């Protein structure tokens, strides 16, 4: 089978394509979209909630992922896990885990604001073990790279999220086709302003069923997982829950999709 993907330089096209899978095999762990907080909330998705996805490349299953949100007292935990399946791991192992802990209080809206963000990923030979501690009172973000023994402080605005909690904040907002939303997120040691385009409404079919959706496109600038080339699209249910049922990114050959297969929602 591998001979079908071998190029003239002796490198397998398959291996190079698996490298591109980082854009979506870790996709759910780094959905870096954040709204400014000025639009009205539509907060109604259930907590606890868990979503399960198949990750495919040109129709071939290459990985599995999950997104989970749960509450413990006045704290909310969001966890994303993405893993390559067994046959893919022979060539390119992906084992990623990202978790955000948020604090709810009277001064914050919806799901609250993050106080701790942990990133622990393995993607082929690439390793990352990083943490961000948010000090909202001091308007500081403390960035820690546990592998490089690096620790730095950065100034942040009063209303900001990490990459994964920002996605859940997005789900609490009203989305209007044709209007862009401008957002702020702390990622890769920087504060980024991100435009999220609300493109259209569309009916889609995924393994979990058929859904009426609204399609959004974040215009990423971050040096994190989305520094790679390729447009990213997210299909959210066109209701108050805003469940992400499909995600797609284009790669050099074809596209990589995350498709909802089930869960508790």
Q: How confident is residue 225, by pLDDT bands cut at 50, 70 and 90?
A: very low
List CB contacts of 61: < 8 A, sequence separation 6 or more: 54, 55, 85
Domains and CATH numbers, the chain: 33-259 (2.40.360)
Q: How far is CA 61 from CA 13, 53, 161, 216, 244, in A?
A: 17, 10, 31, 24, 19
Helix (H, G, I), strand (E, B) or coil at 98: strand
Q: How far is CA 213 from CA 169, 206, 239, in A?
A: 18, 12, 8
- pLDDT per position as a tens digit, 205-220: 999 999 999 999 988 6
Provide the token pair at 99.
């978790």
Distance CA 31, CA 164 (A): 6
Helices (H), 68-189: 86-89, 163-170
> Does pLDDT of 59 surpass 50?
yes
Distance CA 57, CA 93 (A): 15
Sign of the dihedral through C-alpha 243, 229, 193, 191: positive
| 188 or 262, greater pLDDT | 262
| pLDDT score recorded for residue 188 | 86
């Amino acid at each position: 089978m591998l001979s079908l993907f071998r190029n003239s330089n002796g490198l397998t096209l398959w291996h190079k394509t698996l490298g591109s899978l980082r854009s979506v095999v870790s996709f759910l762990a780094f959905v870096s979209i954040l709204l400014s907080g000025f639009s009205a909330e539509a907060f109604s998705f259930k907590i606890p909630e868990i979503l399960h996805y198949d990750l495919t490349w040109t129709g071939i299953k290459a990985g599995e992922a999950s997104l989970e949100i749960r509450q413990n007292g006045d704290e909310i935990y969001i966890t994303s896990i993405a893993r390559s399946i067994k046959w893919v791991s022979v060539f390119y192992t992906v084992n990623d885990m990202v978790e955000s802990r948020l604090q709810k209080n009277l001064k914050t809206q919806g799901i609250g604001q993050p106080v701790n963000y942990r990133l622990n990923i393995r993607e082929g030979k690439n390793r990352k073990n990083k943490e961000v501690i948010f000090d909202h009172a001091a308007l500081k973000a403390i960035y820690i790279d546990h592998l490089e023994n690096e620790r730095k402080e950065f100034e942040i605005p009063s209303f900001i999220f990490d990459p994964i909690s920002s996605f859940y904040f997005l789900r609490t907002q009203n989305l209007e086709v044709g209007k862009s939303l401008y957002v702020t997120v702390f990622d890769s040691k920087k504060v980024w302003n991100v435009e999220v385009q609300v493109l259209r409404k569309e009916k889609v079919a995924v393994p979990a069923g058929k859904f009426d959706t609204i399609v959004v496109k974040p215009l990423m600038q971050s040096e994190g997982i989305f520094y790679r080339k390729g447009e990213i699209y997210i299909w959210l249910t066109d209701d108050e829950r805003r469940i992400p049922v499909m995600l797609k990114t284009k790669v050099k050959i074809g596209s990589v999709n995350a498709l909802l297969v089930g869960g508790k929602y």
